[in-house]
Amino acid sequence: MIPTNSTVDHVLGYASKGWKPYPVQPPKGKACSCKKGINCPDPGKHPFHDLGGLSSATTDSQQLKTIFANSEASIGLRCDGFWVLDVDGEKGLADLSQLIAENGELPRTPTATTGGGGRHYLFKTDRRVAKNATKVQGLSIDIRTKGGAIVAPPSLHASGNRYEWLIAPDDCELAKAPEWLVEFVTQSKAKDVGEFVFEDLDLRTAPGATEGNRNSQLCRLVGSHLARLGDTPDLLQLATDWGRRCDPPMNDSAIAKTVANLVAKEIANKQQGEDLESDEDEESEGFDLEVTSFSTIEAKPVEWLWKGRFALGKITLLTGEGGVGKSMLTCDMASRISQGLLFPDEGVAPLGSVFFIGAEDGAEDTVRPRLDAAGANVDRIFLIQGPRRKGEAFASPIDLSLHMDKLDRLLSEHPDAKLLIIDPIMDYLGAATNSDKATDVRRVLSPLRSLAEKHQVSICAMNHLNKRQGGSSKNRSLGSGAFVQVARIELRVVEDPDDTDRRLLLPVKNNLAAAPGLAYRIESASNGSGYCVWEEGSVDISIHEVESEGGSEDRSAIDEAQAWLLSFLSEGPVKASEAKRKASSDGISEKTLKRAKKALEIIAEQKDRCWWWRLPEKWRSLEEGGNNNPQEAEEDDPSEESSFVF
């Protein structure tokens, strides 16, 4: 491992330049020191979450000493104040050499060699280089900019090599990238859209994977082999041969360990299935219910994908009108998870794979361009088009009532899976499922919920809204109420009633831990596709308030509130607090009361350390008493926020 004093010295040196170091989970041999070990898809590269990960990035020297002097963490750098040309291995170096030959040399700037044989070139921040990207123009060159991060020297790579400075930051200033390079990195061409089909995973013919994808791909291939053929005598040799086709080749002992673990898991699952069949045979003879004391059940905290919104092992229902921007939101989430970046509220997205079941939009001309616009690492994002029989040209549609076992197998082959998006849930319930019948919906969603719990993956089930029938916002999800009841969280994407270009992500229901609403706008990237631009901070508005805006029922409620105010204030000024209390007891919401007050131009005055409301002259038929030194309120009434003691 890196000597502690050397790590701290480097970290403090980076911080002195205004760069923000954060702790990275170090490798452990060829594996990772995290709990996933050999199955970790990015050993020695992902944030050290137990030490705060990306959220702990700082220039505070005392905080950095606390983190790094008492741990074996490697060093990561948030890309704040610079962007990085990330050249991937020998192929990337060859691609860069060709670019330089065609366009000119790069300026002298801080440059590091990566442990995997590539390079990091650090350049001054350029507002045009605003999106993280992988495989720029189809080459082995990536971009890391705001929201991204890199591993920094002298961290250890899983290959056993260290990251080292070729040109140290102390030896030169950050250079401005040449124009040809900026033009190159900001005009990324989309790679071909890949599709996931179950029958293509064959150890005998599958090409080797590149570094960073080898472990997860090996799990997929071995899992597929076990599912189709079982534990054949040649399984280990096939896996070893495949590992040698990788770039760089995988370690034979690591392959053997992974194969052994997956075979043991397959045997355990098969035994569990036999036990279940045995139990079913005994049903005619009767059986006892299994009862467990809660004293033997270990209490565990909820594990979050996106805190307060999407929980691992749970279903979140994402609802909204068609075309409002739900799919844009899921592409944004997929991008962040595929790179382990921050969510809009600064929470850390766990690095992993994302799966889409279907999509109302075209995969090639809509979804893929949106992922590119969001800067996603599309190597980690998959489209599930359903099982395809050998010899058939097209995959069958996914049927959640029939294909749950295939999804179970798929997720077993991808232990790094974090998010499964079903868009929309209605299209994949199966032809025999009545979406308006609670028992039918539960018959599909209950196994889906168990699937999420088994694999600790968050499931985003997307749904449209029914026509407004009045009442609670919780009753607007299309179909049976079972959709809302089975989901632990429901979020809704709506247009801001005061700004149609603004989208609000608001909680409708949350049985776990509520999170405030957020706002975003949709802007167009250079490829013409939209992507989410999030506002800082949360929004202070409820879904009920938004959905009540502008409707006929809402208009009636405001009219009633105006009539109530005219009557309540007709005899003279009243304390604002008393008006709010009485309105609430009479069934008038504070939101409606504020809108009625604004419409009537009610005057707010301060007297005796509290706020009073009175009618303006045009409405007042009778006003008693007076106010000494009245202070008329601003347009935003201070009485709404004052906390005077009465």
pLDDT for position 622: 39
User: Interior CA angle at 333 toward 46 and 413, to 5°?
Assistant: 60
pLDDT for position 166: 95
The pLDDT tens digits of the residues spanning 420-430 come to 999 899 989 98
C-alpha–C-alpha distance, residues 495 and 323, integer Å? 10
β-pair partners for 354: 381, 419
Closest of 541, 565, 349, 557 to residue 458, by C-alpha: 349
Residue-range domain boundaries for the chain: 1-78, 81-147+161-189, 198-276, 305-541, 552-640
DSSP 72: -
With beta carbons less than 8 A apart as the criterion, state whether 356 and 193 touch: no
pLDDT for position 38: 85
Mean pLDDT of 295-315: 89
Task: Write out the two tokens for 396.
Answer: 């069958």
For residues 554 and 510, the model is more confident at 510
Mean pLDDT of 139-158: 90
For residues 613 and 639, the model is more confident at 613
- 246 has pLDDT over 90: no
The pLDDT tens digits of the residues spanning 96-118 come to 999 999 899 999 999 999 988 99
- Domain 552-640, architecture per CATH: Orthogonal Bundle (1.10)
With beta carbons less than 8 A apart as the criterion, state whether 297 and 290 touch: no
Best mean pLDDT range from 129-138, 445-454, 585-594, 614-623: 445-454
Buried-state track 544-555, b at ≥16 Cβ within 10 A, e below 16: ebbbbeeeeebe
* Burial of residue 641, with CB atoms counted within 10 A of its CB: 0-12 exposed, 13-18 middle, 19 or more buried: exposed
User: 620: how many CB neighbours lie within 10 A of its CB?
Assistant: 15
- For residue 378, give the amino acid letter: V
C-alpha–C-alpha distance, residues 626 and 163, integer Å? 77
SS3 384: strand
**81-147+161-189 placed in CATH 1.50.10:** no
SS3 31: strand
**305-541 placed in CATH 3.90.650.10:** no
User: 3: how many CB neighbours lie within 10 A of its CB?
Assistant: 9
Closest of 61, 5, 4, 50 to residue 24, by C-alpha: 50
Pairing outcome for strands 304-306 and 530-534: unpaired
For residues 552 and 160, the model is more confident at 160
* Confidence label for 127 from pLDDT (cuts 50, 70 and 90): confident
pLDDT for position 265: 77
* Confidence label for 299 from pLDDT (cuts 50, 70 and 90): confident
With beta carbons less than 8 A apart as the criterion, state whether 625 and 573 touch: yes
pLDDT for position 632: 36
